[in-house]
Structure 1
Amino acid sequence: MDKDNMKISMAVIRRLPKYHRYLKDLLEKDIKRISSKELSKIMGLTASQIRQDLNNFGGFGQQGYGYNVEALFEEIEGILGLDKHYNTIIVGAGNLGQAIANYTNFEKAGFLPKGMFDINPKLIGLKIRDIQILDADHMEEYIKANGITIGIICTPKEQAQSVADRLVKCNIQGIWNFAPVDLNVPEHVILENVHLSESLFTLSYLLNHRDE
């Protein structure tokens, strides 16, 4: 089967960033090659699972040698699309929006924050690093003029759907949603929801049931 025509499961796709993170750590330690068994020990996956995951994209390992760490890292970067640049905007310049704007690792990975938008007149005109907070009324024209690919929503939940609708009308390709609400977008728009409270509540459950 042609790997380009294979249906990759979301479980595999969601493990790819973990591979990227661990391989980056190995490179920083100047480790040149690693076996699936050695990789399994540090990642908490089985060697079989690692081989299965990577075989979805062509394998990359050599019998008796293992994986060339740098080559595999570059392959994973390409699969994740991290060898490209994405112009992004942040909608909602409150604490969460400002925290994302200040997180420089996103920029290093190719996600370039071009502007922030808000409706609060006290925030409009301020800068977070070199990113100016603009009036949300001008969001559509800014998106079209600056080739924005990804919109990051950090608004209250009551405003999130209307913001998403505006982004969709501007032909935005992807939405990263931090508002605590599930959004409705057309199938051609890639939507990734990040519900911080759900992760925290999962931690709360595990803390309260760890002895069961």
Structure 2
Amino acid sequence: MDKDSKVSITVIRRLPKYYRYLGDLLKKGINRISSQELSKMTGFTASQIRQDLNNFGGFGQQGYGYNVEELHNQLGRILGLDTVYNAVIAGAGNLGQAVANYKGFEDAGFKVLCLFDKNPKLIGLKIREIEIRDVDSLEEFIKENNVEIGIITTPKENAQDIADTYIKSGIKGIWNFAPADLKVPEDIIVENVHLNESLFTLSYFLKNRSDYTT
């Protein structure tokens, strides 16, 4: 919707958490929930939840709360999860194989078509029926298979070259696990997952935890 472009990135980053908790409620057979109850689950205030959801329209009813299934479905559509996205992974080492093995990735509508690597010992192997191919065929494969998402799980020194190949091939979305800051055009969307940075942050809070406890 047109309103999406005006929504704060901090709001957008909270939506997947709402979606996950609502999915858990559906599995438990819970049909209705209030913003106060959702607040206790998510850690966000009830007011914040209502403000976040109001960015995308009115979902709740005063005195009733939210219909769990309806809100879950609506958030799925807002997040684009009602669409199947074809994806490829460049880097078929331990991390790349772990991403390919992650069943939740597929359940959310992201279909990994192929892995790519330059290691001849890996080429031809399969991870959950997903073949590992020579990285030299990456560009051709993307163009022939309507790939929308490029995943990078290569070492740092190879990440920019892979990103350049993705962009050249027409990919507009990159999920980057490499510890590198990619240089891309403004119209390319990059979501970084820097595992080391997250671990270092955890280390900081562990070392200084007395400053953050009451």
* Short-chain TM bin: over 0.9
TM-score by length of 2: 0.96
Report the CA distance shift for 1:133/1:14 in structure 2 as closer, same or farther (over 3 A): same
* 2:37 is equivalent to residue 22 of structure 1: no
- Partner SS, residue 37 of structure 1: helix
Find the aligned partners of 1:93 and 1:3 in 2 and give their Cα distance.
38
Report the CA distance shift for 1:5/1:205 in structure 2 as closer, same or farther (over 3 A): closer
In the TM superposition, residue 4 of structure 1 has moved relative to its aligned partner by 2.5
Aligned to 1:125: 124
In the TM superposition, residue 86 of structure 1 has moved relative to its aligned partner by 0.4
Aligned to 2:99: 100
Report the CA distance shift for 1:87/1:6 in structure 2 as closer, same or farther (over 3 A): closer
In structure 2, what residue type is equivalent to 1:77?
G
* 2:110 is equivalent to residue 111 of structure 1: yes
Aligned to 1:83: 82
2:96–2:153 Cα contact (<8 Å) kept: yes
In structure 2, what residue type is equivalent to 1:71?
E
In structure 2, what residue type is equivalent to 1:81?
G
**Correspondences of 1:49-198 after superposition (within 5 Å):** 49-198=48-197
Find the aligned partners of 1:83 and 1:4 in 2 and give their Cα distance.
19
Output one character per residue of 1:59-115: Cα deviation in whole Å (capped at 9) or x when no partner: 301111100000000000000000000000000000000000011110111100000
* 2:198 is equivalent to residue 205 of structure 1: no
In structure 1, what residue type is equivalent to 2:103?
T
Output one character per residue of 1:37-65: Cα deviation in whole Å (capped at 9) or x when no partner: 11101111100000000000003011111
1:3–1:56 Cα contact (<8 Å) kept: no
TM-score by length of 1: 0.97
Find the aligned partners of 2:64 and 2:198 in 1 and give their Cα distance.
39
1:115–1:134 Cα contact (<8 Å) kept: yes
Aligned to 1:47: 46
In structure 1, what residue type is equivalent to 2:14?
R
1:83–1:110 Cα contact (<8 Å) kept: yes
2:148–2:173 Cα contact (<8 Å) kept: yes
Find the aligned partners of 1:143 and 1:204 in 2 and give their Cα distance.
39
1:31–1:69 Cα contact (<8 Å) kept: yes
Name stretches of at least 5 consecutive residues in structure 1 with no aligned partner: none
Output one character per residue of 1:174-212: Cα deviation in whole Å (capped at 9) or x when no partner: 000000011011111111011011111111111111113
In structure 2, what residue type is equivalent to 1:66?
G
Find the aligned partners of 2:138 and 2:210 in 1 and give their Cα distance.
51
The percent of aligned pairs where both chains have the same amino acid is 66
Find the aligned partners of 1:45 and 1:140 in 2 and give their Cα distance.
43
- Partner SS, residue 210 of structure 2: coil
- Partner SS, residue 132 of structure 1: strand
What is the total number of aligned residue pairs between the two structures?
211
In structure 1, what residue type is equivalent to 2:191?
E
Aligned to 2:10: 11
Find the aligned partners of 1:5 and 1:152 in 2 and give their Cα distance.
24
Find the aligned partners of 2:105 and 2:21 in 1 and give their Cα distance.
17
